[in-house]
Amino acid sequence: MDIAVINPNSSAAMTARIAQSISRYKAPATHLRVLRVETAPISIQGHFDEAACLPGLLDAVTQQERLGVDGIVVACFDDPGVGACREIATGPVIGICEAAVVFAKTVAANFSIVTTLPRSVPIVEELVVKYGAERQCRQVRAADIPVISLEEDPDRARKAVRSEIEKAIAQDRCEAIILGCAGMSDLAEELTRTCGRPVIDGCVAGLKMIEGIVGAGIVTSKAGAFDYPIGRELVGSGAGRGCVPA
Amino acid sequence: MDIAVINPNSSAAMTARIAQSISRYKAPATHLRVLRVETAPISIQGHFDEAACLPGLLDAVTQQERLGVDGIVVACFDDPGVGACREIATGPVIGICEAAVVFAKTVAANFSIVTTLPRSVPIVEELVVKYGAERQCRQVRAADIPVISLEEDPDRARKAVRSEIEKAIAQDRCEAIILGCAGMSDLAEELTRTCGRPVIDGCVAGLKMIEGIVGAGIVTSKAGAFDYPIGRELVGSGAGRGCVPA
Amino acid sequence: MDIAVINPNSSAAMTARIAQSISRYKAPATHLRVLRVETAPISIQGHFDEAACLPGLLDAVTQQERLGVDGIVVACFDDPGVGACREIATGPVIGICEAAVVFAKTVAANFSIVTTLPRSVPIVEELVVKYGAERQCRQVRAADIPVISLEEDPDRARKAVRSEIEKAIAQDRCEAIILGCAGMSDLAEELTRTCGRPVIDGCVAGLKMIEGIVGAGIVTSKAGAFDYPIGRELVGSGAGRGCVPA
Amino acid sequence: MDIAVINPNSSAAMTARIAQSISRYKAPATHLRVLRVETAPISIQGHFDEAACLPGLLDAVTQQERLGVDGIVVACFDDPGVGACREIATGPVIGICEAAVVFAKTVAANFSIVTTLPRSVPIVEELVVKYGAERQCRQVRAADIPVISLEEDPDRARKAVRSEIEKAIAQDRCEAIILGCAGMSDLAEELTRTCGRPVIDGCVAGLKMIEGIVGAGIVTSKAGAFDYPIGRELVGSGAGRGCVPA
Amino acid sequence: MDIAVINPNSSAAMTARIAQSISRYKAPATHLRVLRVETAPISIQGHFDEAACLPGLLDAVTQQERLGVDGIVVACFDDPGVGACREIATGPVIGICEAAVVFAKTVAANFSIVTTLPRSVPIVEELVVKYGAERQCRQVRAADIPVISLEEDPDRARKAVRSEIEKAIAQDRCEAIILGCAGMSDLAEELTRTCGRPVIDGCVAGLKMIEGIVGAGIVTSKAGAFDYPIGRELVGSGAGRGCVPA
Amino acid sequence: MDIAVINPNSSAAMTARIAQSISRYKAPATHLRVLRVETAPISIQGHFDEAACLPGLLDAVTQQERLGVDGIVVACFDDPGVGACREIATGPVIGICEAAVVFAKTVAANFSIVTTLPRSVPIVEELVVKYGAERQCRQVRAADIPVISLEEDPDRARKAVRSEIEKAIAQDRCEAIILGCAGMSDLAEELTRTCGRPVIDGCVAGLKMIEGIVGAGIVTSKAGAFDYPIGRELVGSGAGRGCVPA
C-alpha cells in the first residue's frame, strides 16, 4: 500500500529525521513517502503557524490523492488541517496527536504529554478533549524549548525533554508518556528504555494506525462532514508545489 | 472605537447584506468596517473551505491590526482561524458562532441552531462543545440549502430556514434559535417576531460582544496561546491583498 | 438605554466603589443605576447569604422592571437568583461571574479565578461548570480574606489578592485572571498593568455584556424556563423596599 | 432519630399527601415530622417560586435545628435551598431530586423523569447534571399539568402522568421512572405495579437516604462550603414562623 | 429485612473486621449476614484479582438470592461484578465505592479518596467517573500499602492512611474523606474525630443505602440491563461453595 | 508476529466465522490464532455472561502469554476482562469495541452502533463513554435479535441488522456504522457496499490495531494499573483448559 507521511513544516532536517525514525517500523509491503511542505513555516508553533502551513499541506494532499495514495499521516502534533485533508482524501487520514493518544490509551491507564513550547500546551489540551482522552491525560507539559532546538542543539533539547518526562513521572504518576512534537520522533526508543514505561512517538503511531485502517479496507466516509469539497476547482493545482520528499 | 467585521468568504452580496444588517446595531461611536476576503471561496461549506479562506483572512487581520483596529469579528459561523487571528491581533477577536452562543445562553435555558448544509452540522457541533454549551444546545439542524441560495433564491431559502426553525421549536422544545450562517443575518428580526422567542444572528452578537470587550478596556492575553506569532515575518504583507470593503 | 446594576448585599461602601469603578466604562447613551439591597446581608459569603439576599433582590428587580429598565446586572460573584430575576425581567439579566467568564474565554485560552473566602470556592466551581468553562478554568483560588476586609483593610486585602494572583500565574500557568468578588472591582486596572495579562472584573464585564445584548435588541426568552412567574401576585410589592442607590 | 421532611410550599393538601405516602416507609425508630412553609407559594413552578419559598424554608430549618433534628429532607423536586439548609444544619440534608436520582442509579442502568410543567424541565435537567447523572437520564419530560392539578383534578393529573410515563418507556427505552414532583408521591406504588419497572418517588427516597446517613453517624462537613453561616444573627428567628405541620 | 454483605476476597480476618465495624450500625430489624468468598484471592489488588473473585462472588449471590435475601452489598472498593450481581438479584445491590461516593456528595461539596496501592488508583478514578462524581472528587490517593498490611501490620497501616489523609486535607482542600478499601472500615470513626470532617467508610454506607432502598420497597429493574441472565442454567449451583460467613 | 484473537464465548460456529472474516485482513507476517473459550457461555448477553466467561478467558490469555504471543484481541463487543488481560499480558491487548470506535472516529465525524439485544445497549453506552466517544456516537441501537440467531437464522438476522442500520442512517444522520457484535463480522463488507458509508467490524479493527501497536514496538505499561498481578500463583494453570482453536 502507498502511505504518505506529510510533515507540514518546511524543515528538511526534521523531515529527514522523521523519515529515518519511522521507516524501520513500516510494514514490508508499505510504500512510504515522507514529505515536507516547502512553503510552510520552518516549525509549527501556535495557531498562526498552523494556518500558515495549510495551503501547502492541502496542495500536497491533493497531489498525493491524485497519485493514488492509500492513506495519509499529518506529522505535526497540532494535527493541523486534518479535517480538510479528510475531505480531499479518499483513504484515511490521521494526525500524529490522535494516533499517539489512541496507542497510549490502549497500553496505559493514563499518560502525560511533553511538548516543546508553553504556548502549544492549550492547543494540545484542546485536542486531547476532542479525542475524548481528557480523563486519561494527566497533564500536558512543555519542555520549554523551541522546536528548532531539536535540530540545532539536540543534546540540550534531549536533556530538557528527559527532565520534563522525569517530572511527569514523579508528579503526575503517569503510566506512559507521549512525545508532543514530530521532531522528537528519534527520542522515543531510548526514552522508553530509560523511563520504564512506554514513551510514544506519534509519527510511528500514525504510520501504524494508517497501515491498519487501510489494511482493514476502510476509507473515509463521504456521507457527511468529510465529503469531497463542494468547489472542487478550489482544491488547487495538486501539483504539490512546495511539497518536497525527505 | 474601530471595529472590523471580516466575512472570510468572497461573496460581495453576502458581505453587503451583513453590513446592512448590522450597521444599525453599532454603537454611535463605533467606526465599523465590514470586509470580505477576495481570495477566499464564495462560501464556506466544510473544513476545506475553512482552510482555503485562511490566507486571505489572516492577511486582512494583519492589515487591520496595522491600521490600529480595536477589535475584530470573524463573520462566518464555522469561526475559522479565530485562534490565529487572536495571535495577530492586539485587541479582542470573536467568531460569530461563539458570540451567538454566549448571547443565547444569557437569555434562554437552551437553544437550537439552524445552519445551511448537513455537512456543516458536525463542525458546528464541535464548536458548541468547545464553547461549553453542549448541555444548552438542543440540536444543530440543517435547512439543507447551499449558502449561496441565500443570495440566489432568497425566498426559497427563507422558507427552508423558517420551516426548520418550526421543527426545532416543536421537536426540540428550544427556548431560542441561533441562525447558523452569516448569510442569514437579515432574517433574525422578522423570525424573532414570528417565532415567539429570540432568533439570534451571530453577526450582530459578535459586533456587540466586541464593542463590549473593547469598551471594557480588555485586550487579548499575550501570556500564552495567543501571543504574537514567533515568526513575525511569516505574518504576510498585511497589504490586505484580496481584502475588500462591503 | 436604562441599565440597573444591583449589588445584592447591603454594603453602601462596596456599592459606591462598584459605581465608581464601572461608571467610566458605560456607553455614553447608557443611563446607569447602581443599587444595593438594604435588607440583604452586608456581604454574600456562602449559600445562606445568597438565599438571604433574594427577597430584597427580587423586589428590586420587580421595581426596576416597572420602571422600564432595559437590562440588569446582578453584581455578586455567586450570581445569586439570576434565574429568578430572568423570570421577572423582560430584558436580559446577567450575573458578574457569567460575564467575566465569557470575557476571559474570548481573550485567553485559560484563566484562574481569585475569590475571597475558601468557603466560596466550591460555589464558584459549580458556576464554572454551569457556564461550560471547566476546561478553561485552571483553578478557583481564595485569597482567604473576608469580603468586608476589602472595605475595612483595603491595603492588606489588596496585597492578599495580588499574592494569590501571583501564585495563580506561577502555578496554574494561566493566561488571564478573573477577580472573584464584586468588591474587587477597583483593583482590575492596576492588576492588569502589573500582572502582564488581563485581570477581569465581572462588574464591568456584566455592564458591557448587558449593554451589548440590549443593543442587539435581544430580550429574555419567555418560551420556557424564564417565562414570567405564574403567580404574579407573589412577585411582591415592587416598591423596591430596601433597594437603595449607590 | 428525629427526621424533618419539609415541603417548601404552602399547600396543606400536598403536605398531607406526602405525610401519608411516606409515613408507612419510615423506620420504626424514626420520629418523623412532615412540615410545610406557610409563607411560601402554593406550588413551586420555576426559579422565582424557588426563591420565594426560601425565607420560610430556612426559618423552618433553623427551628428544626434548634429542636435537635437529626436529618432533613427538602420535599420539592427542584431541591431549592439545599446548600443553604446544609449550612444551617448539623445533620445531613437532602433534596428529593438528588435522593431519587441516587436510588434510580442503583437499581437501573438509566431512567427518565416525569415532572409537571415544561418550564421546570430545564431546572431539573440542570440538577441532573449537578448530580452527575446526565449519562443515565434518558430524558426529562413534562406531563404538562400544573402542580395544583394533582390536588384539584387528581384523576386527570394521574392520567397525564401515566400517559407521559408510557411515552417515556416506549420512546426513551428507560429502565426506571422518577416522579418529578413531590405531589406525585402517592402515585409511585400503583405505577410501579402497572409499568413493569421501578417508579421512584423522591419523598420516600429522601426519607430513607437521610435515615441511612444519620444511621451511619455521618453529619454535614463544616470544613468548607457547608460551614455554619458566618453572620449567625442573620439566620433568623428560628421561630418557625409560617412553618406548619402536615 | 435480610441483608447480605459479601466481601469478595477470602480473608477471614478482614471479613471479621468488616462484620464488627458495621454490625452496630445496622437497623434493629435487619438480619445481617457478612460473608467472604473462600475461592477468591486474599485481597483484591487490580483488575485480575477482580476477575478472579467473580465466580465465587456470583455463586454466593445466587445462594443468597435463593435464601430470599432482600438486598446485597459488595464489600470491595473496586465494586467488582456489581452489574452481574444485579442481574442475578431481585433486590437492590450496591458496591461500597458507589455508596461512599453517594454519602460523601450529600454531606460535602467535595472529597478525596485514600486507597491502598497506587495500582488501584486508576480503577477507582474510573468508578468515580462512572458514578458521576468527577467534579466532586478532588483526588484519588494511595497510602502505598498492600491491603494485607491492614491485617498484618495495622499500626503502620493506620499511620500511612492517616498521613495520606492529612496530605489530602492540606493539598486538596477537601471537605470529606472516603476510605478506599473495605479493610479500613474500622478506622472511620476515629479518623472522623481527628480529621475534623467526615471520614466515610463504604461498608457502613453500603449497608445503610441498601437498608434504605429495601425499606423504600424498590427492587432492581428487570426491564433492561439488569434483567435476569438469559442462560439461567449458567448461574451456577448457588450452593455458595466457597462462600463462608464472617 | 504472533497475534491471538480470543472469542470469549464457547460458540465454535461463531469462532469459525470470525476466523474466516478476519484471516484475509491479517498482515502477511502475522501468525494468527483465533480461539474460543470452551468453558464460557455460548454467547455473551449481559453482565453475568461477561463475568462467566472470565475464568476461561484469563486462562487462555495466560496460556498465550506463555506461548510468547505478541498481542491479543478480545473478540466480544462488551470488551470483557480487557483490564485483567492487560495485567497478564506483556504485549498490547484490545477489545473489539474500543478498536471499532477508534477506527470509526478516524474516518467519520460520527457513527451509530448496532448491537443484538436491547439489554446490551447500556453496556455498550458505558464503553463508549469510557473510550471518550460519547460526542461522536449518535446512538447505540439494538436489532433485537439474540446473538445465537446470527448462526441459527442468518438470513433473518442479517435482515434485522440491515433494517436497524437503515434506521440509524435515516434518523441519526450518522456517517459510519459500527457492528456491535463479533458475530456480525462477516456482514461488514457487504453492508459497507450497500450503505454508502463505512460499516466497521471490530474484529478486523482489533486485529489491525494490535498489529499496528506490536509493529510499533509498544508494549503494555507495567508502571501502574496494568502491572502483572501481584499474586502470580493466582493467574491459573495457563494450560488453556477450555481454550480451543477455531
pLDDT in tens, B115-155: 999 999 999 999 999 999 999 999 999 999 988 899 899 99
Residue type, A50: E
**CA angle in degrees (0–180, nearest 5) for C115-C121-C124:** 85
Q: Is F201 exposed, middle or buried (0-12, 13-18, 19+ CB in 10 A)?
A: buried
pLDDT attached to residue A233: 54
CB contact under 8 A, C122 and E135: no
Q: Nearest CA to E69 among E210, E171, E242?
A: E210
Residues 6+ away with beta carbon under 8 Å from F244: F12, F15, F35, F36, F37, F38
* Residue B70 near residue B2, CB atoms below 8 Å: yes
3-state secondary structure of D2: strand
Q: Nearest CA to D71 among D44, D52, D89, D59?
A: D89
Band the pLDDT of F242: cuts 50, 70, 90: low
- Contacts with F42 from chain E: Cβ below 8 Å: 231
Q: What are phi and psi of E131, to 5 degrees?
A: -90, 5
d(CA E208, CA D211): 8
pLDDT attached to residue F243: 64
CB contact under 8 A, E227 and F119: yes
Torsion of CA C55, C61, C63, C67, to 10 degrees: 180
Per-residue exposure over A107-141, b if at least 16 CB sit within 10 Å of its own CB, e if not: bbbbbbbbbbbbbbbbbbbbbbbbbbbebbbbbbb
pLDDT at F194 over 50: yes
Alpha helix segments (H runs only) across E44-201:
47-66, 82-88, 96-107, 121-130, 149-152, 154-172, 188-195
Q: Nearest CA to A60 among A51, A73, A50, A47?
A: A73
Tell whether E66 is within 8 A of chain C (Cβ): no
pLDDT attached to residue C240: 60
Band the pLDDT of C234: cuts 50, 70, 90: very low
3-state secondary structure of D81: coil
User: Is residue D244 within a helix (H) or strand (E), and if so which, with residue range?
Assistant: strand D243-245
pLDDT in tens, D17-44: 999 999 999 999 999 999 999 999 999 9
Mean predicted lDDT score pLDDT of chain C: 94
- Contacts with F217 from chain A: Cβ below 8 Å: 25, 189, 204
* Section E130-154 average pLDDT: 94
CB contact under 8 A, E173 and C121: yes
pLDDT in tens, A80-138: 999 999 999 999 999 999 999 999 999 999 999 999 999 999 999 999 999 999 999 99
Beta bridge partners of F5: F34, F73
Q: Which string of DSSP letters, residue by residue, matches F199-244? A: EEEHHHHHHHHHHHHHHTT-----SSTTSPPS-GGGG---S-TTEE
Show which subunits contact B, needing at least 3 CB pairs below 8 angstroms: A, C, D, F
Alpha helix segments (H runs only) across D67-141:
82-88, 96-107, 121-130
pLDDT attached to residue F234: 47
Per-residue exposure over B185-221, b if at least 16 CB sit within 10 Å of its own CB, e if not: bbbbeebbeebebbbbbbbbbbbbbbbbbbbbebbbb
All CATH 3.40.50.12500 domain ranges in chain F, comma separated: 2-96+205-245, 97-201
Radius of gyration of chain F (CA): 17
pLDDT in tens, C95-116: 999 999 999 999 999 999 999 9
Give the CA count within 13 Å in the CB-facing half-sphere of B233: 3
pLDDT attached to residue F238: 61
Q: For every residue of A187-210, which 3-state class applies, written as one string? A: HHHHHHHHHCCCEEEHHHHHHHHH
Tell whether E134 is within 8 A of chain F (Cβ): no
pLDDT in tens, E146-182: 888 898 999 999 999 999 999 999 999 999 999 999 9
Band the pLDDT of C212: cuts 50, 70, 90: very high
CATH of the domain spanning A2-95+205-245, picked from 3.40.50.12500, 3.40.190.10, 3.50.50.60, 1.20.1200.10? 3.40.50.12500
d(CA D26, CA D212): 11
ipTM of the assembly? 0.96
CB contact under 8 A, B189 and C217: yes
Alpha-carbon D218 to chain mean position: 20
Per-residue exposure over E23-40, b if at least 16 CB sit within 10 Å of its own CB, e if not: eebbbeebebbbbbbebb
Name the percent of chain B lying above pLDDT 90: 90
pLDDT at A178 over 70: yes
Tell me the Ramachandran region of residue E50: left when phi exceeds 0, alpha when psi lies from -120 to 50, beta otherwise.
Answer: alpha
Tell whether D242 is within 8 A of chain C (Cβ): no
Give the CA count within 13 Å in the CB-facing half-sphere of A16: 5
* Sheet bearing E2-7, strands edge to edge: E93-95, E71-74, E2-7, E31-37, E243-245
The pairing of beta strand D111-115 with beta strand B177-179: unpaired
CATH of the domain spanning F2-96+205-245, picked from 3.40.50.12500, 1.20.120.1750, 3.40.50.460, 3.30.930.10? 3.40.50.12500
**Min Cα–Cα distance to chain C from E213, Å:** 29
* Section E208-223 average pLDDT: 98
Cell numbers for A76: 505535526
pLDDT attached to residue D234: 46
- Contacts with C87 from chain D: Cβ below 8 Å: 46-48
Q: Which string of DSSP letters, residue by residue, matches B31-86? A: EEEEEEETTS-SS--SHHHHHHHHHHHHHHHHHHHHTT-SEEEE-STT-TTHHHHH
pLDDT attached to residue B234: 46
Tell whether E240 is within 8 A of chain F (Cβ): no
pLDDT in tens, A39-66: 999 999 999 999 999 999 999 999 999 9
Band the pLDDT of E144: cuts 50, 70, 90: very high
d(CA A84, CA E43): 52
d(CA C21, CA C19): 6
Q: Using the structure block, give the residue that is written with the C-alpha cell 421512584.
A: D200
Tell whether A139 is within 8 A of chain E (Cβ): no
Q: Nearest CA to E98 among E65, E64, E118, E73?
A: E73
* Residue C49 near residue C192, CB atoms below 8 Å: no
pLDDT attached to residue D167: 98
Sign of CA dihedral C35, C39, C40, C43: positive
d(CA D70, CA F166): 57
The CATH number of the domain covering residues in E97-201: 3.40.50.12500
* Section D60-86 average pLDDT: 97
d(CA C242, CA A18): 71
All CATH 3.40.50.12500 domain ranges in chain E, comma separated: 2-95+205-245, 97-201
Q: Nearest CA to D72 among D216, D220, D242?
A: D220
pLDDT at F18 over 80: yes
CB contact under 8 A, B173 and D129: no
CB contact under 8 A, D110 and F122: yes
More confident residue, A6 or D230: A6
Residues 6+ away with beta carbon under 8 Å from D16: D246
Cell numbers for C201: 472584573
CB contact under 8 A, E107 and D224: no
Interface A-B, measured as beta-carbon pairs within 8 A, has a size of: 107
pLDDT in tens, chain B (246 residues): 999 999 999 999 999 999 999 999 999 999 999 999 999 999 999 999 999 999 999 999 999 999 999 999 999 999 999 999 999 999 999 999 999 999 999 999 999 999 999 999 999 999 999 999 999 999 999 999 988 899 899 999 999 999 999 999 999 999 999 999 999 999 999 999 999 999 999 999 999 999 999 999 999 999 999 999 986 554 555 656 666 777
d(CA D146, CA D13): 15
Band the pLDDT of C238: cuts 50, 70, 90: low
Greatest extent of chain A over all pairs of C-alpha atoms, in Å? 53
pLDDT attached to residue F139: 98
Tell whether C103 is within 8 A of chain B (Cβ): yes
- Contacts with B135 from chain D: Cβ below 8 Å: 125, 129, 134
Residues for chain A: how many in total? 246
Mean predicted lDDT score pLDDT of chain A: 94
* Section D188-208 average pLDDT: 97
